[in-house]
Structure formats: C-alpha cells, structure tokens
Amino acid sequence: MKILIKNVDIVTMNEQNQFYERSNIVIEDNIITHIGDIGDINKNKVDYEIDGSNKLAMPGLINCHTHLGMSLFRNYADDMILSEWLTKKIWPAEAKLIAEDIYWASLLSMSEMIASGTTTFCDMYFFMDQVIKALDISGMRASLARGIVEEDSNSIYKIEENEKLFNEYNDSLNGRIKIMFGPHAPYTCSPEFLLKIMDSASKLNASLHIHLSETRNEVEESFRKYNKSPIKHMYDLGLFDLHTVAAHCVHIDEEDIKLIKEKNVHPVNNPSSNFKLASGFSPVNRMLKEGIKVALGTDGAASNNNLNMFKEISMASIVNKAVDNDPMSVTALEALNMATINGAYALGLEKEIGSLEIGKKADIIILDMDKPHLCPRNNVYSTLAYSAYGSDVDTVIVDGNILMERKEFKTIDIEKVKYMVKVNSMDLLNNR
C-alpha cells in the first residue's frame, strides 16, 4: 500500500525542526519513505492520495500517562483532593469493574484520543487483555502495563498477570504493543514488593510505569516512613536501573532532579490532572533546562476530564510561564516536543515514532488549518501550541493505516461505543 499526502505543510519535529511548506509525504506500508518534492515519485504507483491543501501534517501525539478505563468515571468524582478522590470514590467504584466495562471504556478513550490527534498512549490499568482487544480494533499504538497495587500477601498474582501479558503480547499487532510493568506508586507497594516487580521486569528486559511524587502529602509520608523523598527511595531501591516512566514528579527538589537526570528517568507532566486535583505544579522548565526529556500526559478522564493532548500542550506552556514568572518558561516548541519526540523517548520508541522522518513509522496527524482561530499563521509552533484545538485534527494515520479521515472514524463504530459506555457506566455506578 502506497499513500501520498499531497500539497501539505509539514512540521517534522526532527532535530533540526525542519518545516516544509506545501510539500508531500509518501508512506509505503507502515513507513515514511519520502518527504519533500514529488518530482521523482511515480504517481501511477500511488494507491491512495490525501489532499493536504490548507492542511498541516505533524507527528501523531504521544500521551505518556493514561488510565483508559477511567473514562467510565468522567465527571463522576470532581472537586476533591487526590487522596479522598481515590479512597472515597474511585477505588470503591473500581472494585466493581468487570472486563466488559474496560473494553468499551477503552474504545471510547481511544476514539477521543484519535479525534484529538493522539496516536500512541502509555496506559496503566486493569483487564489489560480488554485494552488490547480494543487496541486491535482501533489501530492505535500503545505501551501497556497491568496496574499493580499491593493489597495483601496474595497480591503476587498481579505480578504474574503482568508477566503473562508480556509473554503473550509484547511486540504483537505488528509491533504496535509494548508491555511494561505497572507498580502503582511507592505508597501502594512496599519495598519488598517493588523488588519482586523489578526482578520480573528485569528478567524480561521490560520498562516500568509508576506514579511518583504527585502530592505534598505523598512526599511528607515518604520522609516519615523512609526518611527520604519518593525519588530517592526509588533510586536507593535500584528501580531506576530499569527504564522508568514516572508519572507526575510534581513535588521534587534539586536533589531529586539530579537523580532523575543521572538515571535517565522519564518524567511525565500531567498539568490538567495536577491542577484539578490541586496536587501542585511540576518544575517542568527546571527539568527541561537540565536536559531531561519531560513527556506529557493527560492522566485518566476521571481527573482531567478529557484525553486531549492539545489542551495539555497549551496548559504545560502557559501555566509554567505564570508559575515561574517567566514568559520563556516552557516555550511553544518545548511543549510540542514534550507531546511528540520526548514521549517517544519515554517509551523507548525514539527510533520509530515522535517525528516525521524517512524510515520512521507512519504515525501522522493532519490538521485542518482553514479556521479563523488559526489565521494568520505567523509562527507555526505558536499556532499549534497556543491556538490549535484537538478538534482541528482532520485525519489520523497510525502504522500506515488511516484511522480517521475528514473527521470520520474508519475503525471504530462510535455510536455503538458511546451507547455501550453509557449502559456500562450507569450499571456500574448505580446497580452493582
């Protein structure tokens, strides 16, 4: 299959930040094989053409911290702090989840992400076989971890489930799935239990996905219990010797930042979730200035309450300027990097996705630029970070397959998905 995207503006997000005006992209099977003039392309051999007039192509966005199943709980538990939100509302509701809930909620979350330009996500939740079933249908790319909370001495089965998931699915669906291990947090997993997870993950050469230093309370508790910060606690345990995606990293000090840098930990900033739960502000600019490749995420739809990465890009850039009292803090380009190439680094996929380059996987989004709020386009990065909405995304391609074209879903029956989520959510929250 050979696809030609014709006459399109291209933001590559490559190292040189190359930008092409009214140019072309050729995709052969799942790979980008040409960017630029089409003089030497044999147009007869093109199977499918996409007209890129008044449109802009850029790398698909990478949402590095999600809990897809939580879209069942969208607008269900709001205006609370994290500890109460989790213990009083979310965990009791999650205890009643069944496999079918996760299947439909995951498809709904994938629809929302596709519609707003995300092509890859990094998920930690339950019933991950259902997420994989939904991923197979949607055509997206993902790194998935079975979320592991240590409840009692029987909790070891959760690590075994994560191992099974790895053995069955890592690298499956044409390489669109990677399996990670998902210890929830240092406050829900003891050091001994974390060591067991690390042992399993390192035997399989798998990465970790964990929540770290999200609230002031978490850090204070860590000092009370271990006499060190959550970051230092993980460092001393050796957790960072494995490739680690660390969601949040809000309440971190200079010492923590040094350790994150030394161990090449991948922090994920989740601005909307952190602000809505009043968790605080992560020192994103400080980390970026240290050369740490901070990635970006939405967290779940129960705390965000959307899965729209354009909202997070704008939020990350604008809020950090206000907090740092510095308009240069987290520039438009830096925020876009967080949502693309830094995300690819966080998932160990920097050679495959995160920028539009010849030889990389064809994960491409195309925005309709013919809109009043995108005119005039004096600076393309400012336009994308400060003016664009997720709803400007017109066409989405993952692994060379078209998942949405001219706003029409190609792989998901969205009406059925919305109906099934409403039915399941109502049953879960009212009857079970």
Among 432, 422, 417, 425, residue whose Cα is nearest residue 109? 417
* Extended beta strands in 213-311, E state: 244-248, 266-269, 295-296
Report 355-384 residues binding ligand LTUXU72L (CB under 6 A). none
294 torsion bin: left (phi>0), alpha (psi -120 to 50), beta (else): beta
Q: Residue type for 90, please? A: I
Residue 203 contacts residue 195 (beta carbons within 8 Å):
no
Nearer to ligand LTUXU72L, 6 or 65 (CB): 65
| Residue 67 binds ligand LTUXU72L, judged by CB under 6 A | yes
> Using CB under 6 A, which of 143, 298, 303, 383 touches ligand LTUXU72L?
303
| Residue 125 binds ligand LTUXU72L, judged by CB under 6 A | yes
| Residue 299 binds Zn ion, judged by CB under 5 A | yes
| Residue 124 binds ligand LTUXU72L, judged by CB under 6 A | yes
Number of helices (H) and strands (E), helices first, in the chain?
Answer: 17, 17
Looking at 26-34, 55-63, 121-129, 374-382, which segment touches ligand LTUXU72L (CB under 6 A)?
A: 121-129
249 torsion bin: left (phi>0), alpha (psi -120 to 50), beta (else): left
Report 141-160 residues binding ligand LTUXU72L (CB under 6 A). 147, 149
Closest-by-Cβ residue to Zn ion is 299
| Residue 211 binds ligand LTUXU72L, judged by CB under 6 A | yes
Nearer to ligand LTUXU72L, 101 or 214 (CB): 214
Q: Which residues contact 4 (CB under 8 A, 6 or more apart)?
A: 24, 25, 26, 27, 38, 41, 43, 46, 48, 49, 50
Q: Which residues contact 74 (CB under 8 A, 6 or more apart)?
A: 301, 302, 305
Task: State the Cα angle at 364 between 143 and 110, rounded to 5°.
Answer: 45
Nearer to ligand LTUXU72L, 184 or 360 (CB): 184
Q: Is 184 annotated as a binding residue?
A: yes
Q: What is the DSSP string of 372-399?
A: GGG-S-S-HHHIIIII--GGGEEEEEET
Looking at 3-11, 52-60, 120-128, 231-239, which segment touches ligand LTUXU72L (CB under 6 A)?
A: 120-128
Q: Which residues pair with 366 in a beta bridge?
A: 57, 395
Q: Is 243 annotated as a binding residue?
A: no
Q: Is 15 annotated as a binding residue?
A: no
Residues that constitute the known binding site for Zn(2+): 65, 67, 211, 299
Give the residues lining the site for Zn ion (CB under 5 A). 299
Residues near ligand LTUXU72L, by CB under 6 A: 67, 82, 86, 90, 94, 124-126, 147, 149, 184, 211, 214, 273, 299-300, 303
Binding residues: 65, 67, 94, 146, 184, 211, 214, 299
